Amino acid sequence: MADPAETRAGGREPFTYALASLAAVLVAMIFFFPIYWSLSTSLRNPMDTFTVVGLGIPWIHFEPTLANWIEQAFTPETRQALANSTIIAGLASLLALALGTPAAYALARFRYRLVSGRDITIWFLSQRILPPVAVVIPFYLMMRAVGLLDTHLALILVNATFVLPFVVVIVRQTFLDLPVELEEQAMVDGCGHVSAFWRIALPLAAPSIAATGLIIFAFTWNEFIFALTIASKEAITVPVHMAGAIDTRGVQFWFMAVRAMIAMIPPVLIALIAQRYIVRGLTLGAVKG
Amino acid sequence: MRRHGHVLNGTMTALALTAVLYGPQAGAGEHVDWNDDGTVTLKLGPEYDDRRITVPQEQLGALFGPEEQPFEDVTISVTVNGAGPNGGISGPLYSFRPIWEELSGGKVEIVELPFAEHYTKMMLDLRNGTGQYDAFMVGAFWYGDIAPAGYGFEIGELMDSGDFPQWSYDVMPPSLKTLHHWGDAAYGVLNDADGQVLYYRRSVLEDPEHQAAFKAEYGYDMPVPPATWQQLLDISKYFNGKNWDEHDAEPDSGTVLHLKVGEQGHYHFQSLSASFVVNPGDAVDRTHNVYWFDPTDMTPLINGPGHVKALEFLQALHETGPAAQVGWSLGEAWDYFLRGKAVFVYSWGDVGALCQDESRSVVRGDCASAQLPGSDEYYDMTRKEFVAADPPNVVGNTTGGSWHGVVSNFSANPEAAYSFLALMAIEPVSKMMAMYGWDGVDPGFSYQFLEKDGGTAKVEDYVAAGWDAKDAEDYTHAYKELFYAPTSLTYLRIPGSFEYWDILDKNLSAAMSGSKTAQQALDDTAAAWEPVTKRIGRESQLKDYQEAIGYAP
Amino acid sequence: MRWTSRIRFLFLMPAVLWVLAFTVFPLGYSLYLSFVKIDQTTSVTRVKEPVLDEAGQPVLKSDGTPRTRNVVIKDQTNVTTFVGWNNFARMRSDPQLHEAIRVSLVFVFVAVPLELVLGFLLAVLFNRKLFGRPFFRTVMILPIFATPIAVAYSFFTIFYEEGGPLGWTGVPWLSDPGWALFSVILVDIWQWTPFCFLVFLAALQGVPDELIEAARIDGAGALDLLWRILLPVLQPTIVIVLLLRLAEALKLFDIPFAMTGGGPGVATQPYSLFAFRTGLRFFDLGYASAMAFVLLIVVSIVVTLFFRRLRQTYG
């Protein structure tokens, strides 16, 4: 893959190249530091938390230990939180994809008379912008009314709702980018609308839909305010579990660091897998990365 | 504490192995032995030094028995401030869970919640009536939101039935006893007793060189311990910035405070300001023995001249400690004192016990305690001016949560929940817990006080638990004085207490971090309290408040 | 195209109805809540019921009496009273709320522009051949997806004043009201500058080389290039990024919740956090709903301001 930037004028000068590369390394280090620091803290004895000097490099500045990890990572509460988050994020993402993909297809391909597809898309988009705090109280009361407090289902429903607009807007863009001729050809050949969608458009859009699924999985994983409100025991997710590392008498930095790492690893891994789609995804399809 | 955990696992394995090798004795369980002489031995883990507590069978109540598991298949869940299996208040639940499970056949789920979320989760459960939790380890300031609304389970009948582990309110000082009741109804199961006392470094204050230097600078002999807050401030100023402790080469501080917003920083202000504000008197009337509101119309008193002066004083005292303490929770501030970095800390009973734990503390044997000093002046609410107080105006306090169990009225198994809580309230258990620092359970009951203070404990008991004898004598005496003080700060326990305190806490934090003046912070507090009173209802608040402080209109 | 209307609606409607049910309905409910006051009364009765075994026979204790269990019958009634505009009127004279608004505004107007500018500068700077470029891109993706609560706690450790890695600076990162807000902003900048950077980088790579070369030949300096070529070409992207960042910034919750608890005082308590606590900690549901609704109106205004641009983008 030829990178257009590599052919730029600046790129050819070795001095600029070296300087820019050095700057890039520095910037990368700054942005990586907080994650690195958590990792480093998680490997220290509690006593070493704030006595380590320099960059806190294991073996050089302190003797690393896995004790915090062993003690925290395998407690029943941590495992339950991980299981809950996986179930909730997984099912919410699937649900949002199942509801959102046909809608996205419809908005990309069909015309609507009453309201234009474009405005419906923007309406979906504005739901994405909606501050969660504006609906958290009524949503809480609704879930209470139907007896769904502290259940996975409640969190699946709410998370699906919040990522659904994201799916609609992005996947619509994907379908728009596909050549419509293939589907038209299929319909000439006797396919129905549904099977044209199912057999032609969907497989072509599959990689992008999968990437969207991964991104919304990460969003749901990171979601805090609803989980904090809805979950009290059975449905506690990783971020809510994380918040429990503050103890009445102070912060247990060593455990907190372990939990922070456990919380961050899955979404970060996902982001790496879906790298190519990140820019497009996060700008809701407005910028093609 | 964390390494401790591994020792614990190792010992458990060893215990299990022993059991396999030698086989069980008759009536001997893993955690409970039913002895032939009619006593029962409860076997604790290494976090309590593998102690064995032997009590007569009757003390455990009629329900438990060698052949009886009265709560088979019952699961109860108890909420507690999150601190882990080796942490304050939550720790003992973990220690006694296996014992109770073996006695009862039931299961205990311990639900740890972050301090800031505990109240919220409890109230959500209670308001919804879901009954998901069977009991809560509450702070006494939540009673106003629990009891009048009918969310608490009255335990009087269960206590009297003789079926459950036996304990009594009679061991409590009156000031603590009221915290476990609402009106005449009993809700709280004895556990922790909170109140703030002063801890100081005995040897440092008594050092002749410092004594001489202090006198040269301030013109009077340094009193040990200080009798007034004003003296305490002078001493703090004198020691702040000097390296008077040889454990490190850095300069040390005067008084260390825990001021983190959203936690328990406001208690410092309560305990200190009490002696600037509370007018001693025989009865509770409009101007005597009041602190929070005017008991005739619920007008906040919190921005009165006494309160403001006290907050200005606290700001000055803060200058003699590390600046970062504005963001410190209890643990950070305590550790600072335990590491020998501050000459004073005034806080809960945990500190005295933690001083004895040499894995954390360098001050064992030099950790003296005293009742909080008084102020040499206070604001006379009748005359509307400051008056000198000689002797100083010493005011006792029960500030803090006095964290203890309350059974939920929505619990399907209130008996089981009560039984678990009561097991931890029997005398030998409660006495033991108060001696350990890590468990957060602090002393305040007669069997924890020494005989010379009218209690039943012996200093040898404390020494056997690893205490320095002098530290233990000071400590128990300080608490005895505190809880039986003639004048005491009234505890705010009306509906919305937590919200009133939350508002106060935020404003205090603003004052301590310098973004508001003392007057402004307390004026803002008073202004923000009014809508809360209005919302909950002024008339009902007035009634509850009068009842809570014992004011007869 | 010859699509039938039935399928057109079958495809679209589930998603539309779903969103309506789970956002528009709650919003309506929230509006209702903001005009009422709810008082709750509770009474509980407990009935002892014998425990039955699988065969339907009572289970006996060792003393021969039947084992019983409690059945809790609760009666909770909510009394709702209409309070008119009371809750909205309260917002005018609530110093805590005003402070929360101030915190949110400072945050939005400092953090968002800084992120855009920094992201843009980084994108311009690194839009060239670099050593380890894929690796660099990868590192810049991490902050965006790191769990905010975990990020907040990591930074809590980093900003810890006694011995944290930035302790040597002597800056009161979390204990001084002004600095604490700045620290919250810093965390947000850490988390979202990479987003701006990646998006602008992608957009820059879409700028045809010829355009730049032509400008160079015309003798344009670096600043000219920026003002005359890059900014106009990138303008649509900038607007979208601005909208998305504004929307996210108004939601600010997790970072102050975990890192500062809104303190010291209320110096880092943004609007969302205050509204949340009012409603779900102190159960002042009506007031919290009123606050939520006002926030919603503000967000709607912001979206409307961007509406024309959105129509072009999603045309």
The string of pLDDT tens digits covering residues B37-87 is 989 999 999 889 899 999 999 999 999 988 888 898 899 999 998 777 777
Return the DSSP state at B222. -
Return the DSSP state at B372. P
Question: Residue B274 in contact with residue B371, Cβ under 8 Å?
Answer: no
Q: What is the ipTM of this complex?
A: 0.88
The reply to whether residue A248 touches residue B124, judged by beta carbons under 8 angstroms, is no
Which of A26-30, B17-21, B512-516, C247-251 is least confident? Answer: B17-21
Higher pLDDT, B474 or B131: B474
Judge if A52 and A120 occupy the same domain: no
Alpha helices for B448-517 (secondary structure H) = 459-464, 469-483, 497-512
Question: Residue B167 in contact with residue B190, Cβ under 8 Å?
Answer: yes
Q: How many CB pairs under 8 A join B and C?
A: 122
- Percent of chain A exceeding pLDDT 90 equals 31
In whole angstroms, what is the distance from residue C269 CA to residue C272 CA?
8
Q: What is the 3-state secondary structure (H, E, C) of chain A?
A: CCCHHHHCCHHHCHHHHHHHHHHHHHHHHHHHHHHHHHHHHHCCCHHHCCCCCCCCCECCCECCCCHHHHHHHCCHHHHHHHHHHHHHHHHHHHHHHHHHHHHHHHHHHCCCCCCCHHHHHHHHHHHHHCCCHHHHHHHHHHHHHCCCCCCHHHHHHHHHHHHHHHHHHHHHHHHHHCCCHHHHHHHHCCCCHHHHHHHHHHHHHHHHHHHHHHHHHHHHHHCCHHHHHHCCCCCCCHHHHHHCCEECCEECHHHHHHHHHHHHHHHHHHHHHCHHHHHHHHCCCCCCC
pLDDT digits (tens, 9 = 90+) for B374-433: 999 999 999 999 999 989 999 999 998 899 999 999 888 999 999 999 999 999 999 999
Query: What pLDDT sits at residue B155?
Result: 94
Q: Is the pLDDT of residue A55 over 90?
A: no
pLDDT band at B180 (very low <50, low <70, confident <90, very high): very high
Q: How far is C138 from chain A (nearest CA, A)?
A: 7
The reply to whether residue B84 touches residue A67, judged by beta carbons under 8 angstroms, is no
**A235's tokens:** 């449905």
Higher pLDDT, A50 or A14: A14
The reply to whether residue C126 touches residue A41, judged by beta carbons under 8 angstroms, is no
Query: What pLDDT sits at residue A60?
Result: 79
Domain count of the fold of chain A:
2
What CATH fold (topology level) applies to the domain C87-313? MetI-like fold (1.10.3720)
Q: List CB contacts (< 8 A) between A106 and chain C.
A: 8, 11-12
Q: Mapping DSSP to helix (H, G, I), strand (E, B) and coil, where does residue B66 land?
A: coil
Query: What pLDDT sits at residue A249?
Result: 57
Q: Is the pLDDT of residue C29 over 50?
A: yes
The reply to whether residue A136 touches residue C135, judged by beta carbons under 8 angstroms, is no
Q: Which among A68, A232, A249 is the nearest to B88, CB-wise?
A: A249
Residues C63, C69, C72: CA angle, nearest 5 degrees: 155
For residue A14, what are the CA distances in angstroms to A9, A11, A20, B350, B426? Answer: 11, 8, 10, 64, 80
Q: H-helix or E-strand containing B400?
A: none
CATH code of the domain in which A84 resides: 1.10.3720.10
Question: Residue C253 in contact with residue C245, Cβ under 8 Å?
Answer: no
The reply to whether residue C129 touches residue A10, judged by beta carbons under 8 angstroms, is yes
Q: How far is C10 from chain A (nearest CA, A)?
A: 8
Indicate where chain B has its CATH 3.40.190.10 domain(s): 2-193+401-447, 197-398+488-549
Query: What pLDDT sits at residue C39?
Result: 76
The reply to whether residue C264 touches residue B412, judged by beta carbons under 8 angstroms, is no
3-state helix, strand, coil in chain B (%, to 5): 45, 15, 40
Q: List CB contacts (< 8 A) between B513 and chain C.
A: 175-177, 263-265, 267
Subunits with 3+ Cβ pairs within 8 Å of B are A, C
pLDDT band at A90 (very low <50, low <70, confident <90, very high): very high
The reply to whether residue B3 touches residue A67, judged by beta carbons under 8 angstroms, is yes
Q: How many CB pairs under 8 A join A and C?
A: 334
Kindly state whether residue A93 falls inside one of the protein's structural domains: yes
pLDDT digits (tens, 9 = 90+) for B301-335: 999 999 999 999 999 999 999 988 888 888 889 98
What CATH fold (topology level) applies to the domain B197-398+488-549? D-Maltodextrin-Binding Protein; domain 2 (3.40.190)
Query: What pLDDT sits at residue C283?
Result: 82
Question: Residue B311 in contact with residue B269, Cβ under 8 Å?
Answer: yes
In whole angstroms, what is the distance from residue A151 CA to residue A145 CA?
13
The reply to whether residue B129 touches residue C161, judged by beta carbons under 8 angstroms, is no
Residue C121 CB partners (closer than 8 Å, separation 6+): none
- A57 interface with C at CB cutoff 8 Å: no
Q: List CB contacts (< 8 A) between A248 and chain B.
A: 81-83, 87-89, 115, 263, 329-330, 440
Query: What pLDDT sits at residue C207?
Result: 81
When pLDDT is averaged across residues A67-77 and rounded to a whole number, the result is: 79
Judge if A47 and A78 occupy the same domain: no
Higher pLDDT, A56 or C243: C243
Q: Which among B83, B111, B114 is the nearest to A249, CB-wise?
A: B83
In whole angstroms, what is the distance from residue C15 CA to residue C19 CA?
6
Query: What pLDDT sits at residue C48?
Result: 73
Asked if residue C58 has a cis previous peptide bond (ω within 30° of 0), the answer is no
Query: What pLDDT sits at residue A5?
Result: 44
In whole angstroms, what is the distance from residue B83 CA to residue B401 CA?
15
- Domain assignment of residue A131, given as a range: 71-282
Mean pLDDT score across all residues of chain A: 84
In whole angstroms, what is the distance from residue B380 CA to residue B286 CA?
12
Query: What pLDDT sits at residue B329?
Result: 83
Query: What pLDDT sits at residue A152?
Result: 96
Query: What pLDDT sits at residue B519?
Result: 96
Query: What pLDDT sits at residue B171?
Result: 94
Q: Is B340 left (phi over 0), alpha (psi -120 to 50) or beta?
A: left
Q: Mapping DSSP to helix (H, G, I), strand (E, B) and coil, where does residue B410 land?
A: coil
Question: Residue C29 in contact with residue A138, Cβ under 8 Å?
Answer: yes
The reply to whether residue C202 touches residue A287, judged by beta carbons under 8 angstroms, is yes
Q: Is the pLDDT of residue C304 over 80?
A: yes
Q: Burial code of A6-32, b = ≥16 C-beta within 10 A, e = fewer?
A: eebeebeeeeebeebbeebbebbeebe
- Other CB atoms within 10 A of residue B70 CB: 22
For residue B262, what are the CA distances in angstroms to B182, B287, B397, B446, B486? Answer: 26, 30, 21, 33, 31
Query: What pLDDT sits at residue A3?
Result: 44
Q: Which among A68, A77, A232 is the nearest to B121, CB-wise?
A: A232
Q: Is the pLDDT of residue C164 over 70?
A: yes
Question: Residue C149 in contact with residue A243, Cβ under 8 Å?
Answer: yes
Kindly state whether residue A288 falls inside one of the protein's structural domains: no
Least Cα distance to C126 among A185, B292, A25, A202 occurs for A25
CATH architecture of B2-193+401-447: 3-Layer(aba) Sandwich (3.40)
Integer Rg of chain B from CA: 24
Q: Is the pLDDT of residue A155 over 90?
A: yes
Q: How far is B483 from chain A (nearest CA, A)?
A: 23
Higher pLDDT, C237 or C75: C237
Mean pLDDT score across all residues of chain B: 89
Kindly state whether residue A137 falls inside one of the protein's structural domains: yes
Return the DSSP state at B44. -
- Percent of chain C exceeding pLDDT 70 equals 94
The reply to whether residue B83 touches residue A244, judged by beta carbons under 8 angstroms, is no
Query: What pLDDT sits at residue A9?
Result: 43
Q: Which among A67, A228, A247 is the nearest to B83, CB-wise?
A: A247
Least Cα distance to A250 among C157, C146, C178, B497 occurs for C157
Residue ranges with strand state E in B348-396? 367-370, 375-380, 385-393
Query: What pLDDT sits at residue A128?
Result: 82
Kindly state whether residue A216 falls inside one of the protein's structural domains: yes
Q: C47 forms bridges with which residues in the sheet?
A: C71
pLDDT band at C63 (very low <50, low <70, confident <90, very high): low
Q: Is the pLDDT of residue C13 over 70?
A: yes
Q: List CB contacts (< 8 A) between B129 and chain C.
A: 42, 44, 74, 76
Query: What pLDDT sits at residue C55?
Result: 75
pLDDT band at B273 (very low <50, low <70, confident <90, very high): very high
Q: List CB contacts (< 8 A) between C178 and chain B.
A: 515
Q: Is the pLDDT of residue B189 over 60?
A: yes
Kindly state whether residue A147 falls inside one of the protein's structural domains: yes
Judge if A87 and A50 occupy the same domain: no
Question: Residue B94 in contact with residue B110, Cβ under 8 Å?
Answer: yes
Query: What pLDDT sits at residue C315?
Result: 65
Q: Is the pLDDT of residue C126 over 90?
A: no
Q: Is the pLDDT of residue C87 over 80?
A: yes
pLDDT band at A289 (very low <50, low <70, confident <90, very high): low
**Residue found under tokens 């409890």:** B122
Query: What pLDDT sits at residue B66?
Result: 87
10 Å CB burial of residue A206 (0-12, 13-18, 19+) is exposed
Kindly state whether residue A116 falls inside one of the protein's structural domains: yes
Higher pLDDT, A56 or C94: C94
**B463's tokens:** 């020494």
Query: What pLDDT sits at residue B541?
Result: 93
Boundary residue ending a domain (A65, A82, A113): A65
When pLDDT is averaged across residues B476-494 and rounded to a whole number, the result is: 92
pLDDT band at A247 (very low <50, low <70, confident <90, very high): low
Question: Residue B131 in contact with residue B411, Cβ under 8 Å?
Answer: yes
Query: What pLDDT sits at residue B121?
Result: 86
Judge if A225 and A249 occupy the same domain: yes
When pLDDT is averaged across residues B212-228 and rounded to a whole number, the result is: 95
Query: What pLDDT sits at residue B311?
Result: 97
**B125's tokens:** 């459960």
The reply to whether residue B260 touches residue C261, judged by beta carbons under 8 angstroms, is yes
- Other CB atoms within 10 A of residue B390 CB: 10
Indicate where chain C has its CATH 1.10.3720.10 domain(s): 87-313
For residue C155, what are the CA distances in angstroms to A43, B325, C177? Answer: 17, 18, 17
A-facing residues of C in 259-278 (CB < 8 A) are 271-272, 275-276
Query: What pLDDT sits at residue C74?
Result: 73
Q: Mapping DSSP to helix (H, G, I), strand (E, B) and coil, where does residue B421 land?
A: helix
Q: List CB contacts (< 8 A) between C69 and chain B.
A: 412-413
Return the DSSP state at B207. -
Beta strands B39-43 and B32-34, pairing class: antiparallel
Higher pLDDT, A62 or B341: B341
**B250's tokens:** 């850095």
Q: Is the pLDDT of residue B25 over 50?
A: no
When pLDDT is averaged across residues A91-107 and rounded to a whole number, the result is: 95
| C190: phi then psi, degrees, rounded to nearest 5 | -60, -40
Q: Is the pLDDT of residue B7 over 50?
A: no
**B47's tokens:** 């976090």
Q: What is the 3-state secondary structure (H, E, C) of chain C?
A: CCCCHHHHHHHHHHHHHHHHHHHHHHHHHHHHHCCEEEEEEEEEEEEEEECECCCCCECECCCCCECEEEEEEEEEEEEEEECCCHHHHHHHCCHHHHHHHHHHHHHHHHHHHHHHHHHHHHHHHHCCCCCCHHHHHHHHHHHHHCCHHHHHHHHHHHCCCCCCCCHHHCCCCCCCHHHHHHHHHHHHHHHHHHHHHHHHHHHHHCCCHHHHHHHHHCCCCHHHHHHHHHHHHHHHHHHHHHHHHHHHHHCCCHHHHHHCCCCCCCCCCCHHHHHHHHHHCCCCHHHHHHHHHHHHHHHHHHHHHCHHHHHHHCC
Q: How far is C63 from chain B (nearest CA, A)?
A: 10
